A = this chain, B = another copy of it.
Amino acid sequence: MSGPPPILNQAPFTLENLPYGVISSSQNSTPHCATAIGIHAIDLCKYAETREFNFDSVKDGQLVANALKQSTLNEFAALPAKLRQQLRSKIQDDLRQGMVPIKCLVPLSDVKMHLPMKTGGYSDFYTSLEHCQNCSGEMTSSKTFNIPKNWFYAPSVYNSRVSSVVPTPTDIRRPKGVYFKDGMDGTPEYGPSQKLDFELEMGYFISKPVPYGERMPIASAKEHIFGFVLLNDWSARDHQLFEMRPLGPFHSKGFGTSISNWIVPMEALEPYSCSPKNVQDPPPFEHLTWPGKADGALDIKLSIKLVRNGKTHELSKSNLKYLYWTPYQQLTHHAGAGCGMETGDLIGTGTISGSGTDSQGRKTELGCLYEAERTKTDVVPLENAKYNGYLEDGDEIVLEGWCEDAEGKVVLGFGECRGKILPAN
């Protein structure tokens, strides 16, 4: 397993990327909007004050400039896509021509990252077929089926906890909760999780809202997505097994969700549109059927690393296109009952697993450790771990993601999604 090329660690932030984030620095301790290029952030607040935005109209330029002066990206993301595209083109032109004023540049090493958006709702999906095949059974407490029938007719999803979404590299405290000591319906005990896990996901933020009480057609789903981040849905598997019946996950997910800090915009990801890996059988309902050509997925390569005792281990790899239900299908389903979607809402794709194996037939695309336990896959170096192959205090999990061109050259990356486990208190 190779993981991302080394260059990614240096410069995931290329001219083709220009992700959006919220930074502060020693020069300006107030959180403000930024983009990133190479080893620098560009302070977009200063940039808007310095450069003239001659867009279609003076008013358009002022709208963009005002949005970039806010402390979150919400106002900017809510602008029409055309205006955001015009800003992106201007920054690209200015970079190519050396016209970005030096006073707008901040070394990334001097930057503190904040949550990029104010989020009103955070929902998390469960839409990877391989993940479900590897997990099903125990959590649903049924021996009569592997994956419930409903899963194949609509993307499965739950509301998660907004207040527990944290930026990289926030430490994650091992949570206390109730678990069955001796397996399902055994003796209930209250204490620190003994089966602490990660989940490899991506997340996407909403740009254009869907008003409460309304739906949207799948053909316009892209317009409602501002961009993507990496997302680690930390999970306490013993607490989860206890609480799943009948209302689904709560505490077992609500103690922390880490995201990478830079939102890679849809404009940067469009060139990586592709067919989903899986053919949907049964075919989806009409309102969930992607129109036109087979480009409803995104080809984004993913990897998981574990840092334990100072040593880095590559655990697994995956790809966003492996999802059975694509992000556009997810979003269309989500908005479908009229719940309302607001700018800044965060959607987790659900764990993204694949079916890949190595030369010894060992699974190499597992999206979490629970899958390793359930499928009896040794995930080196966890075989000797104290917690039955789960995370130990002090462990760090690092998710990475990137897009490659047709020749396999990395064009852009997401930066890291990173978090370290603190002992229970």
Binding site for B on A (CB under 8 A): 120-121, 123, 126, 139-142, 148-150, 153-154, 156-164, 166, 173, 175-178, 180, 185, 188, 190, 212-213, 215, 236, 239, 242-251, 254-256, 285, 287, 336-342, 345
Tell me the nearest residue of chain B to A241, going by C-beta.
B150
Query: Of A141, A246, A251, which is in contact with the most chain B CB atoms at under 10 Å from its CB?
Result: A246
Q: List 14 A-B contacts (CB under 8 A).
A: A121-B162, A126-B246, A150-B180, A154-B188, A159-B250, A163-B340, A163-B342, A163-B345, A164-B339, A164-B340, A176-B215, A239-B337, A248-B249, A251-B339
Tell me the nearest residue of chain B to A287, going by C-beta.
B190
- 4 closest A-B pairs by CB: A248-B248, A251-B337, A159-B159, A163-B340
A148 to B141 CA separation, bound complex (whole angstroms)? 11
A322 to B337 CA separation, bound complex (whole angstroms)? 32
Q: A164-B212, A251-B337 are in contact. List 5 more A-B contacts (CB 8 A).
A: A126-B246, A156-B247, A158-B247, A164-B339, A177-B336
Tell me the nearest residue of chain B to A140, going by C-beta.
B246
Are A213 and B337 in contact, CB atoms less than 8 angstroms apart? no
Tell me the nearest residue of chain B to A286, going by C-beta.
B190
Are B149 and A185 in contact, CB atoms less than 8 angstroms apart? yes
Are B255 and A338 in contact, CB atoms less than 8 angstroms apart? yes
A180 to B152 CA separation, bound complex (whole angstroms)? 13
Given A120-B120, A140-B246, A178-B285, also A188-B337 (CB < 8 A)? no
Are A243 and B156 in contact, CB atoms less than 8 angstroms apart? yes
A176 to B287 CA separation, bound complex (whole angstroms)? 11
Are A247 and B249 in contact, CB atoms less than 8 angstroms apart? yes
Are B139 and A175 in contact, CB atoms less than 8 angstroms apart? no
Residues of B within 8 A of A212 (CB): 163-164, 166
Distance from A418 Cβ to chain B, minimum over Cβ atoms (Å): 17
Are A158 and B161 in contact, CB atoms less than 8 angstroms apart? no
Are A337 and B175 in contact, CB atoms less than 8 angstroms apart? yes
Are A159 and B161 in contact, CB atoms less than 8 angstroms apart? yes
Are A121 and B247 in contact, CB atoms less than 8 angstroms apart? no
Are B158 and A250 in contact, CB atoms less than 8 angstroms apart? yes
A255 to B334 CA separation, bound complex (whole angstroms)? 11
Residues of B within 8 A of A158 (CB): 158-159, 247-248, 250
Given A246-B248, A247-B249, also A178-B161 (CB < 8 A)? no
Are A255 and B337 in contact, CB atoms less than 8 angstroms apart? yes
A242 to B159 CA separation, bound complex (whole angstroms)? 16
Distance from A332 Cβ to chain B, minimum over Cβ atoms (Å): 12
Tell me the nearest residue of chain B to A142, going by C-beta.
B141
Tell me the nearest residue of chain B to A213, going by C-beta.
B173
Are B154 and A243 in contact, CB atoms less than 8 angstroms apart? yes
Given A140-B246, A159-B161, A159-B254, also A153-B188 (CB < 8 A)? yes
Query: Of A158, A175, A215, A242, which is in contact with the most chain B CB atoms at under 10 Å from its CB?
Result: A158
Tell me the nearest residue of chain B to A345, going by C-beta.
B163
Are A121 and B163 in contact, CB atoms less than 8 angstroms apart? yes
A120 to B339 CA separation, bound complex (whole angstroms)? 15
A267 to B141 CA separation, bound complex (whole angstroms)? 44
Residues of B within 8 A of A340 (CB): 161, 163-164
Are A339 and B156 in contact, CB atoms less than 8 angstroms apart? no
Are B120 and A163 in contact, CB atoms less than 8 angstroms apart? yes
Given A149-B185, A247-B156, A247-B157, also A255-B163 (CB < 8 A)? no
Are B287 and A163 in contact, CB atoms less than 8 angstroms apart? no
Tell me the nearest residue of chain B to A184, going by C-beta.
B149
- Other-chain contact of A254, B160, B244, B248, B339 (Cβ < 8 Å): B339
Residues of B within 8 A of A249 (CB): 247-248
Given A120-B163, A185-B149, also A336-B176 (CB < 8 A)? yes
Residues of B within 8 A of A345 (CB): 163
Residues of B within 8 A of A163 (CB): 120-121, 212, 339-342, 345
Tell me the nearest residue of chain B to A210, going by C-beta.
B163
